[in-house]
Amino acid sequence: MPATDSTRQGEAEDFLFVSEFENRVDEKRRVQIPSDWRRGQEGMRLLLLPMPKSKMEWHPACVMAVTPGRFRNMVRDLRQMKVMDDRADSLRRLLSTRTSEVEVDSAGRICMPENLVRSADIKDRAVLAGMMDWFEIWNPDRYATLRSRDEERAAEAYQML
């Protein structure tokens, strides 16, 4: 039976990525996904995207990991953007050509593509930071810098609730 839009939306909502973990990255660029994040998801698939964190320049700061349902929601939003909008075209092109689909193996690991690991400067360790319905994979030093900035903004950020 084909999935409906409500099923697709529900699929994205079934996952809750919270907390942070620092894990080893092996020589084959594999990193362990926390068991809480993949509970009951045999053969879980994720889409990995390069993600900048600065509005001023394009440089992937980290790797964003999303479920197929969350990615379909992103695609739906992209389809709403004007075809002749250069920024929207750039975003579509960047996401379409730089996104990789991976499957969690029987040991609970994903193998990150070389281009994403290199662009996010991930080497032998990675921090996996939950972002509610997706998670980010960071170089530990970059993440420490970001975490300091988050702490500085904490009072202002919590006012958004």
- The mean pLDDT value of the chain amounts to 87
Q: What is the model's pLDDT at position 3? A: 39
Q: Looking at residue 14, what DSSP letter applies?
A: T
Letter string b/e over residues 88-104, b meaning 16 or more CB atoms within 10 A of that residue's CB: eeeebeebeeebbebeb
The fold for domain 5-158 equals Chemotaxis protein chec (3.40.1550)
Q: Is the predicted pLDDT of residue 7 greater than 70, yes or no?
A: no
Q: What are φ and ψ of residue 90, in 5° steps? A: -60, -45
Residues 34-42, mean pLDDT to the nearest whole number:
83
The two tokens of residue 130 are: 């939950």
Q: What is the model's pLDDT at position 24? A: 98
Q: Is the predicted pLDDT of residue 5 greater than 50, yes or no?
A: no
Contacts of 87 (CB under 8 A, 6+ apart): none
Residue 52: band (very low, low, confident or very high) from pLDDT cuts 50, 70, 90: confident
The pTM for the full model equals 0.85
Q: What is the model's pLDDT at position 57? A: 58
Q: Is the predicted pLDDT of residue 4 greater than 50, yes or no?
A: no
